[in-house]
Amino acid sequence: MSKSPILQAVGLTKSYGRVVALDGSDLELFPGEVLAVVGDNGAGKSTMIKCLSGAEIPDEGQIILDGQQMSFKRPNDGRHAGIETVYQSLAVAPALDIASNLFLGREMRKKGPLGSVFRMIDSSGMRKAAKEHISALGIGTIQNISQAVETLSGGQRQAVAVARAAAFGQKLIILDEPTAALGVRESRQVLKLIESLRDRGMPVILISHNMPQVFEVADRIQIQRLGKRAAVVTPKTHSMNDVVAIMTGAMTVDKKDQALTPVR
Amino acid sequence: MSQDTATYDAASEFNDRASLSQKVQATLHKYPWLSSTMVLVVASIIFSFFNENFLTPSNFSLILQQVAIVGAVAAGQTLIILTAGIDLSCGAIAVFSSMTMAKLVQGTPGEGIPNGLAIWLAFPIGLLVGMLGGGINGFLVTKVKLPPFIVTLGTYNVFLALTLTLTKGTVPSIEMDPFLLTLGNYVNLGPFRVTTGVLFMFAMYMVLAFVLRYTSWGRHVYAVGDDIDAARLAGISVNRVLMSVYMVAGLTFALAAWIVIGRVTVASPNTGGDLNLDAITAVVIGGTSLFGGRGTIFGSLIGAIIVGVFRNGLTLAGVDLYYQLMAIGLLIIFAVSVDQWIRKARK
């Protein structure tokens, strides 16, 4: 069981002025697992994710993706390296249709001079590919790939964002509070999507406040506290109360009792 | 799966039960140019009752010539409004470009520049000036992060002042270069007799419609106007899109200036006064949402023609000029109300 991590962060540090948001935090994500990152507000979850996706540049520390050290300078660098991020704020353009949203910023061009000279986009090709991506994730409730995203429910919109990440994420997918804006039934849909991502072997980092959801889908749970990694546990070895206790500092877990290696 | 089918059935049943007004709302929501096209058709029919000369090829040729300039400016304005911006300086940029072209060709004999530049140099420089003007707007919007309304209100005055400085406030009578007058020439198309400027405007619409519909850039223009954060998160370089939109729009304003010179046969600093707001009027009546992300370029063409039809039709019907202004004003309010109502269909 000496799997090497697909993504490793070592001693990430980031401060905004005098506020130290991230204070030498580590993270390991292993192939094919769902790693949840939890923590109180200000524990450094978001900053960590921003550093991993390239939205922020850490002051110190290393990010190692697939054995290679990364130095992300711009938000798109993480994306080019194969890291896709889904944000809580339903980051889709409402008036555009599903296929356009799936390929937004990465449109397919027509073959031949129509594409290279006139830069025409391949709408039918994108619709076809979008349909494949959507059905590969088992999102059966979406009827028509060319309907505008604004006609979809919140859960379906987030499903489109997840499908986009799954279609283009080569290495891993980060989900930043994907259910925060959703109702119970819609959250269910997104959790099912996370499971189907894992079934396809895609490693996932899930940031969430919602303990029941975290315990439902996560293989391992990393708890952030005051900008550091407080502990990594599994849903099997620790309860929700334990996790909350670690989050608030009421409980500490010995290194040997933590789940620092893959559990799947 | 059975549950999914059940929800779908429930949804379609709900659609069946939707009231007529909801259906109209949904249809207009899907095709934003539809309401303006209907206004155009209905208005044309009504005006034809008041004057038998209204629905004739020669009258429509006249209307098209009258709207060619506003139509061309509205084409560029549409791009900007699609990104949820606005350009109050469009007419000022057009006039400044036309004055630049004319001045460069003519030279200023009194100030030691007796011979003007060759037209193949002066014309591109004029277009460049338009693009640069748009670029200044784009820079202030994207880099200095000012609201487009404020930026272009400021640059409107700046470009106006530059124009007046260039001409010293007078209308120069200029022996215009034949190339600059090209778009004033007439062509016969069946029963229609229009200027090449009209055809040129149509061509501008064709090109922009193609680009908006069939290129990535076009999608990105819509995406930026629709939800700028979503566009950014999708990896679109939002600032680059906005910058290019303002510059392309500036170029269309300069091309519109070429039509202006052809039509009035001089470059006058006083021709563009109404252009700024007329172009916005055409875009809004054409069904493009001032909130961005929704609308079509051809809608603006229809919008410009509607304004022309109203002016012309009301004149032929013998309506006082004051009431014509009022009619256009009511039309704008009507168009924006319809837009607001349609946008509610989202929820």
What's the gap between Cα A199 and its chain centre?
15
- B333/chain A closest Cα distance in angstroms: 23
Determine the pLDDT at residue B178.
82
Q: How confident is the model at residue A219 (pLDDT cuts 50, 70, 90)?
A: very high
Q: How many CB atoms lie within 10 A of CB B329?
A: 11
Give the pLDDT of residue B172.
Answer: 60
Domain ranges of chain B: 24-346
Determine what percent of chain A is predicted with pLDDT higher than 70: 97
Write out the residue range of the structural domain in which residue A249 sits.
7-88+151-257
Is residue A218, in this structure, part of any structural domain at all? yes
Q: Which two tokens stand for residue A80?
A: 């080019």
| pLDDT tens-place string over residues A119-144 | 889 888 898 888 888 887 777 666 68
Express as a percent the part of chain B with pLDDT over 70: 89
- The per-residue pLDDT for range A159-198, each reduced to its tens digit, is 888 888 888 888 999 999 888 888 888 888 889 889 989 9
Q: Which chain B residue shows the shortest CA-CA distance from A124?
A: B214
B140 DSSP β-pair partners: none
Coil, strand or helix at B158: helix
Within 8 A of B215 by CB-CB distance, chain A residues are 118-121
Contacts for A123 with CB less than 8 Å, ≥ 6 apart: A99, B214
ipTM: 0.82
Task: Report the C-alpha gap between A68 and B312 in whole angstroms.
Answer: 70
Write out chain A residues lying below 8 Å of B222, CB-based.
93, 95-96
- CATH number of the domain within which A182 lies: 3.40.50.300
Q: Is residue A133 part of a domain?
A: no
Question: d(Cα B265, Cα B177) in Å, to the nearest integer?
Answer: 10
Q: How much is the pLDDT for B181?
A: 85
Q: Which CATH number applies to B24-346?
A: 1.10.3470
Angstrom distance (rounded) from CA B245 to CA A156: 31
How close B148 comes to chain A (CA, Å)?
A: 21
pLDDT computed for residue B134 by the predictor = 97
Q: B223 and A104: CB-CB below 8 Å?
A: yes
> CA-nearest residue of chain B to A85?
B233
Average pLDDT estimate for A36-52:
89
Contact in structure between B104 and B246 (CB atoms under 8 Å): no
Mutation target among B3, B82, B210, B219 for the A interface, most CBs of A within 10 A: B219
Q: How many CB atoms lie within 10 A of CB A78?
A: 25
- Whole-prediction pTM value? 0.86
Distance of CA B205 to the CA centre of its chain: 10
CB contact under 8 A, A104 and B222: no
Q: Determine the residue among B210, B213, B216 to mutate to test chain A binding: the one whose Cβ has the most chain A Cβ atoms within 10 Å.
A: B216
Q: Which residues of B touch A95 (CB under 8 A)?
A: 222, 226, 293-294
For B233, the closest of A87, A100, A120 (CB atoms) is A87
A114, part of any domain? no
Q: Does the beta-carbon distance from A91 to B8 stay under 8 Å?
A: no
Q: Report the pLDDT value the prediction gives residue B80, as an integer from 0 to 100.
A: 98
B235 contacts A105? CB cut-off 8 A? yes
The verdict on residue A101 lying in a domain is: no
- Minimal Cβ distance to A107: which of B4, B216, B230: B216
Which pLDDT score is estimated for B6? 42
Output the six-digit token pair for B2. 């059975």
Q: Does the beta-carbon distance from B230 to A92 stay under 8 Å?
A: yes
Residues from B in contact with A at Cβ < 8 Å = 1, 4, 7-8, 210, 214-217, 219-220, 222-223, 226-227, 229-231, 233-236, 293-294, 346
For position B11, what pLDDT does the model report? 47
- Identity (one letter) of the amino acid at B336? V
pLDDT at A1 over 60: no
| DSSP letter (8 states) at residue A1 | -
Which chain A residues are Cβ-neighbours of B229 within 8 angstroms? 89, 91
Q: What is the pLDDT of residue B8?
A: 44
- For each of chain B's 347 residues, which pLDDT tens digit applies? 344 444 444 444 445 556 788 888 778 777 777 888 888 999 999 999 988 889 899 999 999 999 999 999 999 999 999 999 999 999 999 999 988 888 888 776 666 556 677 888 889 999 999 999 999 999 999 999 999 999 999 999 999 999 888 877 666 656 677 888 888 889 998 889 999 999 999 999 999 999 999 999 999 999 999 999 889 888 899 999 999 999 999 999 999 999 988 888 776 777 777 888 889 999 999 989 999 998 999 999 999 999 999 989 999 988 888 888 898 899 889 888 887 887 776 54
Q: Residue A259 pLDDT > 90, yes or no?
A: no
Least confident of A91-105, A243-257, B14-28, B295-309: B14-28
Number of domains present in the structure of chain A? 1
Q: In what helix (H) or strand (E) does residue A233 lie, and over which residues does it extend?
A: strand A228-233
